[in-house]
């Protein structure tokens, strides 16, 4: 019994072995199409290192597969067109070496790929480029300390301080508070220093020069009285000739009051209205304007002061037939030309051409 069982087991095992062999044989027979192509075109192991992998065309020319292999070969050709060719299985190391040699040769022969040219942009105008560069520089540069621009000094002398003093110490009718000027002597001197530091320049306009010299005459006359105050009359100073003393230093030159009036203002500008702008600190002198003279107000105030003086009965008495006028019209007759004609330009009373002209006595008492 035992022998029978063993015999049956042996028969069974033999059958299993036989069936397994047949299965392996079928598996070997059913080769994938790619394997068939590989087998058909693979070179002999001895020549694999020397030959390059064959292409699909080579396969069609050299291989003679059976009818049952024709369809797999066409499928393999289609795959080879879309995919990189497969290397033979035989001697992979040799084939890999050949591929590397081909790749290195191709790299050394083929020129490096040139990137596509970027379309040329239109050139920017120079101004735009400069502005762009400046903007980029300002964006990237570290902020530094902001420098304040240097103050620009106005041309000519500054008469504002003198203007403030006149408004404070001179009335609308021309009466001068010399005591007040004396209290503000420092401010008065500061203005005189301003005049001295800024003498007349050739580049100045005619009106600016005239205004400067009128202010010089009036400010230094006030200074002369203030330095000797209380004094009853300017004629009490320097033996009655204060106008001839040279003491007015402007820039590198020194002048007298007479030089300012008679050597500069009168002959250079030839305007008779100047006599009603300068003030000699006397009651009979045309009233001192309580404003500083400037290039902007010169014409306006010359007319205004002339008209006010001629029509003021304190200085002049006018009628159609007779004119009693200031000594100024006698002393400087050459500046006025035809006196009646000049007076009628500003007088509110019409004076006849044949009217009698007389001159009033001049009062040298202080105009305070």
**pLDDT tens digit string along 141-192?**
444 455 554 443 446 899 999 999 999 999 999 999 999 999 999 999 999 9
* E runs forming strands in 256-355: 317-318, 322-325
Rg of the chain on CA atoms, in Å: 61
Number of residues that make up the chain: 368
Confidence at residue 51, expressed as pLDDT on a 0 to 100 scale: 42
Continuous segment of H or E residues that includes residue 105: helix 92-109
Instruction: Name 289's bridge partners.
Output: none
Q: Is the previous residue joined to 97 through a cis bond, with omega within 30 degrees of 0?
A: no
Q: Which of 239, 260, 115 is nearest to 195 (CA)?
A: 260
Which residue, chain included where needed, has tokens 């105008």? 125
Instruction: Name 318's bridge partners.
Output: 323
Instruction: Name 248's bridge partners.
Output: 255
Q: Please check the confidence at residue 53 and state whether its pLDDT lies above 90.
A: no
Confidence at residue 99, expressed as pLDDT on a 0 to 100 scale: 57
114-128 tens-digit pLDDT: 444 444 454 544 444
Confidence at residue 80, expressed as pLDDT on a 0 to 100 scale: 43
Residue 351: which pLDDT band, with cuts at 50, 70 and 90? very high
For the chain, give the mean pLDDT: 76
Q: Which of 219, 229, 234, 207 is nearest to 278 (CA)?
A: 219
Q: Any idea what the Cα angle at residue 51 is, between residues 50 and 53, rounded to 5°?
A: 140
Q: Please check the confidence at residue 49 and state whether its pLDDT lies above 50.
A: no
Q: Are 40 and 65 in contact (CB under 8 A)?
A: yes
- In the numeric block, which tokens belong to residue 363? 């009062």
Q: Which of 310, 297, 308 is nearest to 173 (CA)?
A: 308
284-294 tens-digit pLDDT: 999 999 999 99
> pTM of the predicted model, to two decimals?
0.60
Residue 86: which pLDDT band, with cuts at 50, 70 and 90? very low
Instruction: Name 324's bridge partners.
Output: 317, 358
């Amino acid at each position: 019994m035992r022998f029978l069982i063993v015999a049956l087991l042996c028969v069974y095992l033999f059958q299993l072995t036989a069936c397994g062999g047949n299965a392996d044989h079928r598996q070997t027979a059913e080769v994938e199409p790619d394997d068939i192509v590989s087998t058909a075109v693979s070179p002999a192991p001895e020549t694999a290192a020397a030959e390059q992998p064959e292409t699909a065309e080579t396969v069609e020319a050299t291989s003679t597969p059976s009818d049952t292999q024709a369809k797999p070969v066409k499928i393999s050709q289609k795959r080879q067109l879309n995919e990189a060719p497969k290397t033979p299985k035989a001697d992979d190391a040799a084939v890999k070496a050949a591929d590397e040699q081909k790749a290195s040769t191709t790299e050394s022969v083929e020129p490096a790929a040139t990137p596509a040219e970027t379309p040329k942009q239109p050139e920017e105008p120079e101004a735009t480029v400069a502005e762009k560069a400046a903007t980029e520089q300002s964006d990237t540069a570290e902020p530094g300390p902001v420098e304040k621009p240097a103050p620009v000094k106005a041309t000519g002398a500054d008469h504002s301080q003198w203007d403030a003093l006149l408004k404070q110490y001179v009335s609308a009718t021309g009466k001068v508070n010399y005591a007040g000027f004396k209290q503000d002597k420092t401010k008065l001197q500061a203005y005189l220093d301003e005049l001295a530091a800024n003498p007349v320049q050739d580049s100045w306009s005619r009106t600016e020069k005239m205004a400067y010299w009128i202010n010089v005459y009036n400010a230094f006359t006030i200074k002369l009285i203030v330095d000797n105050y209380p004094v009853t009359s300017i004629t009490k100073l320097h033996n009655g000739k204060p106008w001839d003393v040279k003491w007015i230093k402007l820039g590198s030159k020194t002048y007298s009051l007479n030089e300012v009036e008679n050597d500069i203002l009168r002959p250079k500008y030839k305007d008779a209205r100047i006599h009603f702008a300068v003030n000699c600190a006397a009651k009979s002198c045309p009233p001192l304007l309580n404003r500083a003279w400037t290039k902007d107000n010169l014409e306006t105030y010359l007319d205004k002061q002339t008209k006010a003086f001629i029509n003021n009965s304190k200085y002049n008495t006018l009628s159609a037939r007779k004119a009693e006028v200031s000594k100024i019209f006698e002393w400087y007759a050459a500046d006025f030309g035809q006196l009646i004609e000049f007076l009628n330009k500003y007088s509110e009373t019409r004076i006849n051409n044949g009217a009698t002209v007389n001159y009033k006595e001049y009062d040298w008492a202080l105009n305070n």
